[in-house]
């Protein structure tokens, strides 16, 4: 009957019939995978035996973490912070470079989970879980450095506003205390967001468990979730609220980190461009890290139908955009130094480019500004080797950016008599490598024990999850011609589980 | 089989897709049932209206949670910096005009308190964690976190009747209709 009705309408309006071309949406889940297939594949990562490469990565990562972070910190605590390369003038050497580097990495996770959620970018569903996990682990790595940089780590509790015997209170006007609050809030809220997002998926794993202990553990953490729509209704509101809270939060965190620099009167740091410049840089570096870990993970665990080339393409475009913003900020910094007419400001930037640390500046510029420009070309975004190469450049480049900002500025201050070339110690290197190992081992444990893709949201992103899907299928719009979207991957037809 | 008398929790019926669940829940709502629920593997958008659920009241809790955070930060900073331990640093005065310097922490604590209110408010509204539930005894219910779409009508609903409700669920397109018992856990 529906067909007959459609026919009469189209016949009556035949003379002036205009067919509107409608571009089909690129598919987020390829090969018409069923709900059950999605469950099987994502839970399979947790339930099946890990591939040999997991162990091949995990064992060295744990050794790096134990020797680097564990050994490094024990040596540091028992000897004193003098074992770091920090000297008079360059008191913020590698430790603070590493802190800013890691905290920046985390930002992409929150951007994907919160900002892309608020802007209704449905492609975020396949990558948000892993990116949020990355945020948590990166903040853990970051937190190590300032906690030990205070000198006597057993006095670190002085950072908290607790009444103490000396009746001394923290200076709430100091950006360093703002930083304590910003980073700890960021960690707590990211953890809540990550955990809340995971509850329905933990319930999925719980319902598939046969073994008692495993079932009990997943059962405890899934809070007895049973997919009730009355719960989903509150849950989605909670998710929206957390996204709305995390969005300004993530922008504030790196802004506050940049205040550590910008509110001081050191030439090269005392600029108003720092907050947006730091936030763009953080998102830029974070997306590179997301791709660095997701490209191998999707191949190892066969997740290509959920993390498609379309996802990689989108992330490459964000890297291009934020990389260009960062490039603009670098150039604007130079212009403002020149235009300010301030002698010390101009000198600070001259030394940055031509001084003893020119090599760091060159690394920063070529890795952060030039390498992402490759992503203007479609074939570069479609070639995973190129994408990985650029991401590795960006990872390194963002570390050098922080090195340039911190070390080159501090090494040459107002008094030339103080000038000295800064050298890191082997403890600095060990600790940094240790945090890389810690990050990698935490991420591998996450892949092993927790659902690495948001199962519920990926199911939601399927076409037939729309409650009006059957109606739309039964009554197609007669005035529209659907033009197939360009998609890098070819569909294999209806695939079996 | 134990010999203890079990209470009836209600009827559980399976539906084949989100679309059929949506249409069925409109019918359950219109039939006047109150104690019933849909169970889906992902949040089905539009189902709230079909079930007649009102918008969540969680934002009101979070608003007051946020205000608490804001007030906490303001008083913490103001009392310590202006009241009991005034220090003049960075050329900033130790009086009410120093408040702009407290804004970052006031913002952070607003977000922190709001975030935790969201978490605990959600748990309160959903009455979770609740690790056991009569529905978990069902043989098919585990599919609600995989690929099953279910409606359960509870026996405590005034309109519930042992035969009538079963027939009703059948009529609106439910399959695998199952009587779920409540063993009192």
Q: What one-character-per-residue DSSP string does A390-456 give?
A: HHHHHHHHHHHHHHIIIIIHHHS-S-GGG-------HHHHHHHHHHHHHHHHHHHHHHHHS-SS-HH
Residue B85: count other Cβ atoms within 10 Å of its Cβ: 14
* Cα distance between residue A340 and residue A334, in whole Å: 10
Q: Do A172 and B102 touch (CB under 8 A)?
A: yes
pLDDT at position A217: 92
- Condensed to tens digits (0 to 9), the pLDDT of residues A144-189 reads 999 999 889 998 888 888 888 888 898 899 999 999 999 999 999 9
Name which of A154-168, A254-268, A409-423, A483-497 the model is least confident about.
A483-497
Q: Do A230 and B84 touch (CB under 8 A)?
A: no
- The answer on B30 and B82 residing in a single domain is no
Q: How confident is the model at residue A112 (pLDDT cuts 50, 70, 90)?
A: confident
B17 with B50, same domain: the answer is: yes
**Residue (of A326, A352, A325) closest to A269 by Cα position:** A352
Residues of B in contact with A256 (CB under 8 A): 104
Q: Which of B19, B113, B130, B134 is the mutation pick for testing A, counting most A CBs within 10 A? A: B19
Give first-to-last CA distance, chain A, whole Å. 35
How high is the pLDDT of residue B5?
A: 66
Residue B94 lies in a domain: yes
Residue B1 falls inside a structural domain: no
Whether the CB-CB separation of B38 and B25 falls below 8 Å is answered with yes
What lies within 8 Å, CB to CB, of A370 at 6+ separation is none
pLDDT at residue number A383: 92
The answer to the question of residue B22 being in a domain is yes
Question: What is the pTM assigned to this prediction?
Answer: 0.91
User: Which is nearest to A277 in space by CA: A327, A220, A319, A207?
Assistant: A327
Same domain, yes or no: B114 and B154: no
Instruction: Determine the Cα–Cα distance for residues A92 and A89; give it in Å rounded to an integer.
Output: 8
Tens of pLDDT, residues A223-250 = 999 999 999 999 999 999 999 999 999 9
Looking at the fold, whether B64 and B106 belong to one and the same domain comes out as yes
Count up the domains in chain B and report the number: 2
Residues B20 and B43 in one domain: yes
| Contact yes or no for A199/A222 (Cβ under 8 A) | yes
Query: Cβ neighbours of residue A22 under 8 Å, at least 6 residues apart?
Result: A477, A480, A481, A482, A483
Residues B131 and A220: their CA atoms lie apart, in Å, by: 7
Residue A245: which of B43, B45, B115 has the nearest Cβ?
B115
Q: Which two tokens stand for residue B160?
A: 């519930």
| pLDDT value of position A15 | 53
Q: Looking at the structure, tell me whether residues B32 and B49 fall in a common domain.
A: yes
Give domain status of residue B50, yes or no. Answer: yes
In this complex, do B89 and A171 lie within 8 Å of one another by their Cβ atoms? yes
B141 and B88 part of one domain:
no
Using CA atoms, how far apart are residues A315 and A323, in angstroms rounded to an integer?
A: 12
d(CA B43, CA A456): 8
In a domain, B2, yes or no: no
Does the bond joining B129 to the residue before it have cis omega, within 30 degrees of 0? yes
In this structure, the answer to whether residues B147 and B121 fall within a common structural domain is no
The domain boundary, picked from B82, B98, B126, lies at B126
* Domain-ending residue, one of B101, B126, B151: B126
Question: Are both B87 and B46 inside the same structural domain?
Answer: no
Q: What are phi and psi of A246, to 5 degrees?
A: -75, -30
Which H/E stretch holds residue A72? Answer: helix A72-79
Task: Specify whether B38 is located in the same domain as B77.
Answer: no
Interface of A with B in 7-66 (CB under 8 A): 34-36, 39
The answer to whether the CB atoms of A229 and B37 lie below 8 A apart is yes
Least confident range of A180-194, A414-428, A438-452: A414-428
Last residue of a domain, one of B87, B102, B126: B126
In the structure encoding, which two tokens stand for residue B57, read together?
A: 């009241």
Average pLDDT value for residue range A97-118? 90
d(CA A137, CA A106): 8
Does residue B150 form part of some domain?
yes
In this prediction, what percent of chain A has a pLDDT beyond 90?
A: 61
Q: What is the DSSP letter of B114?
A: H
Residue (of B118, B40, B130) closest to A237 by Cα position: B118
- The band of A386, judged by pLDDT with boundaries at 50, 70 and 90, is very high
Tell me if B159 is assigned to some domain.
yes
Q: Low-confidence residues of chain B, pLDDT below 50?
A: 1
- What is the ipTM for the molecules in this complex? 0.93
What radius of gyration do chain B's Cα atoms show?
25
Residues B115 and B156 in one domain: no
Q: Same domain for B69 and B121? A: yes
Q: Which domain does B92 fall in, by range?
A: 58-126
- State yes or no: pLDDT of A497 exceeds 50: no
Residues ≥6 apart with Cβ < 8 Å to A184: none
Task: Assess if residue B89 is contained within a domain.
Answer: yes
More confident residue, A25 or A363: A363
From chain B, pick out residues whose CB is under 8 angstroms from the CB of A41.
none
Cα–Cα dist B51/B183, whole Å: 28
* Chain B residue numbers touching A175 (CB-CB < 8 A): 104
- Beta carbons of A469 and A11 less than 8 angstroms apart: no
First to last CA, chain B: 17
Task: From A409, A406, A411, A438, select the one nearest A422 (Cα to Cα).
Answer: A411
């Amino acid at each position: 009957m529906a067909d007959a009705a459609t026919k009469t309408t189209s016949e009556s309006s035949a003379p002036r019939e205009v067919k509107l071309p409608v571009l089909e949406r690129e598919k987020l889940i390829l090969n018409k995978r069923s709900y059950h297939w999605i469950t099987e594949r994502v839970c399979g990562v947790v339930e099946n035996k890990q591939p040999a490469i997991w162990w091949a990565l995990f064992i060295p990562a744990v050794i790096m973490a134990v020797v680097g972070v564990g050994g490094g910190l024990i040596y540091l605590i028992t000897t004193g912070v003098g074992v770091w390369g920090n000297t008079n003038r360059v008191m913020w050497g590698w430790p603070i470079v590493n802190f800013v580097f890691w905290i920046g990495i985390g930002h992409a996770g929150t951007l994907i989970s919160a900002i892309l959620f608020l802007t209704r970018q449905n492609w975020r569903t396949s990558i948000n879980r892993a990116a949020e996990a990355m945020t948590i682990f990166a903040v853990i790595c970051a937190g190590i450095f300032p906690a030990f940089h205070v000198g006597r780590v057993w006095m670190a509790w002085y950072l908290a506003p607790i009444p103490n015997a000396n009746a001394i209170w923290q200076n709430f006007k100091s950006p360093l205390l703002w930083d304590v609050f910003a980073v700890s809030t960021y960690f707590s809220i990211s953890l809540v967001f990550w955990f809340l997002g995971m509850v329905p998926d933990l319930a999925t794993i719980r319902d598939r468990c046969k073994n008692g202990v495993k079932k009990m553990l997943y059962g405890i953490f899934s809070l007895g979730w049973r997919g009730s729509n009355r719960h989903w209704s509150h849950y989605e509101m909670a998710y929206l609220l957390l996204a709305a809270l995390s969005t300004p939060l993530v922008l504030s965190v790196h802004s506050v980190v940049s205040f550590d620099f910008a509110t001081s009167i050191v030439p090269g740091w005392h600029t108003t461009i720092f907050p947006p410049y730091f936030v763009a840089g953080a998102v830029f570096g974070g997306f590179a890290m997301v791709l660095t870990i997701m490209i191998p993970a999707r191949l190892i665990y066969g997740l290509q139908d959920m993390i498609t080339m379309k996802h990689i393409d989108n992330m490459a475009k964000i890297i291009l955009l934020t990389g260009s913003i960062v490039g603009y900020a670098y150039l604007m910094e130079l212009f403002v130094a020149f235009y300010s007419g301030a002698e010390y400001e101009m000198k600070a930037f001259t030394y940055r480019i031509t001084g003893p640390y020119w090599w760091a500046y060159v690394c920063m510029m070529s890795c952060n500004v030039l390498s992402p420009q490759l992503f203007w070309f479609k074939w570069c975004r479609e070639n995973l080797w190129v994408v990985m190469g650029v991401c590795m450049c960006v990872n390194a480049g963002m570390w050098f950016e922080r090195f340039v900002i911190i070390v080159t500025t501090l090494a040459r201050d107002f008094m030339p008599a103080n000038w000295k070339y800064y050298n890191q110690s082997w403890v600095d290197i060990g600790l940094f490598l240790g945090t890389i190992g810690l990050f990698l081992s935490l991420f591998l444990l996450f892949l092993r024990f927790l659902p690495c893709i948001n199962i519920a949201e990926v199911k939601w992103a399927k076409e037939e999850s729309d409650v009006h899907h059957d109606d739309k299928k039964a009554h197609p719009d007669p005035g529209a011609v659907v033009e197939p979207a360009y998609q890098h991957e070819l569909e294999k037809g209806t695939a079996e589980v | 089989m134990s010999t203890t008398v079990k209470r009836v929790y209600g009827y559980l019926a399976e539906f084949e897709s989100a679309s059929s669940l949506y249409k069925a829940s409109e019918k359950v709502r219109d039939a006047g049932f109150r104690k019933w629920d849909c169970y889906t593997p992902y949040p089905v958008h539009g189902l709230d209206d079909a079930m007649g659920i009102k918008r969540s009241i969680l934002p009101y809790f979070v608003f007051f949670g946020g205000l608490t955070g804001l007030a906490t930060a303001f008083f913490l900073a103001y009392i310590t910096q202006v009241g009991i331990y005034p220090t003049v640093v960075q050329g900033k005065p130790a009086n009410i005009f120093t408040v702009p310097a407290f804004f970052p922490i006031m913002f952070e604590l607003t977000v922190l308190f709001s975030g935790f209110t969201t978490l605990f408010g959600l748990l309160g509204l959903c009455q979770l964690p609740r690790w056991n539930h009569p529905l978990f005894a069902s043989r098919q219910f585990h599919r609600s976190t995989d690929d099953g779409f279910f409606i359960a009508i509870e026996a405590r609903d005034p309109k519930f009747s042992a035969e009538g409700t079963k027939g009703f669920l059948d009529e609106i397109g439910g399959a695998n209709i199952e009587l779920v018992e409540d063993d009192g856990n």
